[in-house]
Amino acid sequence: MNLINAVDLFNIGGQLVYCNRITSTEFHQLANREVFVTSMLNILITKGECTLTINNKNIHIPTNHIIQLSPSHQFTFIHCSDDFQCEILLVTRLFIEQMYNTESIYKRVKYGVRLYQHPYFEINNDDMVILKQRLEMMQSVINRTNHIYHNELMYNALIGFYLELGNILDNENNRKLYPDPSRYEKKVLDFISLLTEHYRTQHKVDFYAEHLNYSTHQLTRIVQRVMGQTPSDLIFDMLYSEARSLLRTSLSIQQITQKLNFSDQSAFGKFFQRRSGISPAHFRRQ
């Protein structure tokens, strides 16, 4: 299997956020290339219809649907109608880490339980118009590269888009489109609920597995099956986000180390540097 990254597929260069319209012509140029996702990728089908594979399943998607792909999804464009048109929003992992606070990660993970296995859903015309307007705003912000607060503008435009999308997902009528959570999905939601209570002090999967009456191996297998990520990935995502937030406060690095229950400042520094590529002190100076 010759997989490529979604960032390379759309040839976004050094952009942190990419927004574009794709017609049937561009679709055919991108077709039959197996892609893995390391970013957040939203595809709004505004005209026509298409067929693609998502995690090795062939899926036919008509107009007025949204496809929401997250890290660990794989997809391939297969076929589209002549009148096909879609809007693409791709947010790189680097910008996701800058953008999300811990509460946002919690909400994203909750949606992920629902959307990893079924990452597409229908919306009405009014909601599609609103999302297209948000993307037009996003595109205009992306183009303002000389703005002193360019990243902050992109951040706020993205928050607006994802709030609208969250409103659609949480709408009572749309909830009915999804089947009741499976036994495994319910267990993953229990894990996420437990994680939000204890991630600052409990960094090992064993703790969560024991509280949920599973072995570490069983919990890891279930979470990966439902989410495409391991429990450790989710624990460290929450920890890293919290660490970045705390480094923006007046707390000393030693106090943050203690608050997040690392054995010492060196262990915290190594954890942070592995995720960000820079030390906590360097991050704080930036």
Say whether both 168 and 269 belong to one domain.
no
Query: What are the DSSP E strand ranges found in 3-84?
Result: 4-5, 17-23, 35-36, 40-47, 50-54, 57-61, 65-69, 74-80
- Pick from 175, 193, 222: which residue ends a domain? 175
Q: Model pTM?
A: 0.74
What CATH number is associated with residue 90? 2.60.120.280
**How many domains, in total, are found in the chain?**
2
Say whether both 207 and 252 belong to one domain.
yes
Say whether both 17 and 109 belong to one domain.
yes
Q: What angle do CA 36, 228, 111 make, to 5 degrees?
A: 105
Say whether both 166 and 191 belong to one domain.
no
Structure-block tokens of residue 173: 């009528």
Say whether both 140 and 267 belong to one domain.
no
Say whether both 161 and 87 belong to one domain.
yes
Say whether both 139 and 97 belong to one domain.
yes
Say whether both 28 and 170 belong to one domain.
yes
Dihedral angle of Cα 256, 111, 24, 54, to the nearest 10 degrees = 100
- Pick from 175, 198, 218: which residue ends a domain? 175
Backbone angles phi, psi at 245, to 5 degrees: -65, -45
- Locate all alpha helices (DSSP H) within 65-211, ordered by sequence: 93-99, 102-115, 125-143, 150-170, 172-175, 183-198, 205-211
Contact 51, 142 (CB under 8 A): no
Say whether both 53 and 31 belong to one domain.
yes
Residue 50 has a pLDDT of 96
Distance in angstroms (rounded) separating the CA atoms of residues 191 and 215: 13
Say whether both 24 and 164 belong to one domain.
yes
Residue 176 has a pLDDT of 57
Strand partners, 23: 85
- 203: nearest Cα among 230, 236, 227, 229: 236
Say whether both 167 and 190 belong to one domain.
no
**For each successive 10 residues of the chain (286 residues), what is the average pLDDT?**
80 89 94 87 95 90 92 88 96 74 58 72 92 95 93 89 84 59 80 86 94 93 85 87 86 94 94 90 87
Say whether both 231 and 153 belong to one domain.
no
What CATH number is associated with residue 221? 1.10.10.60
Residue 268 has a pLDDT of 94
Residue 56 has a pLDDT of 81
- Pick from 175, 191, 213: which residue ends a domain? 175
Range(s) of the domain holding residue 270: 183-285
